[in-house]
Amino acid sequence: MKKMMTSFVLALFFGGAALFACTNNNEAEAEPKKGMIEEMTDKAAKEMVDRIRTPLDKARSAADQEEDRLNDMNESLKEQQ
């Protein structure tokens, strides 16, 4: 009985080790490639972000230009006094 139990445990151990060795490949660890739907979703998300950011960037640029112009005017007023 004891010999049979030991054989069973060893067989289970070697069987598990063999299955683990077979399933442990490098392709499974690599990042999976995106499917067509995921690529389209990412592209659409990028386009939407660009559409939102473009006006915001233009507004920031205009605000910076206005601030620079006001600073120049203040400096020229200080020089005249």
What pLDDT, in 10s, does the model give residues 30-69? Answer: 666 778 899 999 999 999 999 999 999 999 999 999 999 9
Of residues 46 and 24, more confidence is placed in 46
Find the farthest-apart pair of alpha carbons in the chain and give their distance in angstroms, rounded. 109
**pLDDT category, 25, cuts 50, 70, 90?**
low
Are the C-beta atoms of residues 42 and 34 closer than 8 Å to each other? yes
pLDDT at 31: 64
First vs last Cα of the chain: how many Å apart? 109
CA distance 25 to 15: 17
CA distance 45 to 24: 35
Is the pTM higher than 0.85? no
Q: How many domains in the chain?
A: 1
pLDDT at 27: 58
What is the residue range of 15's domain? 2-80
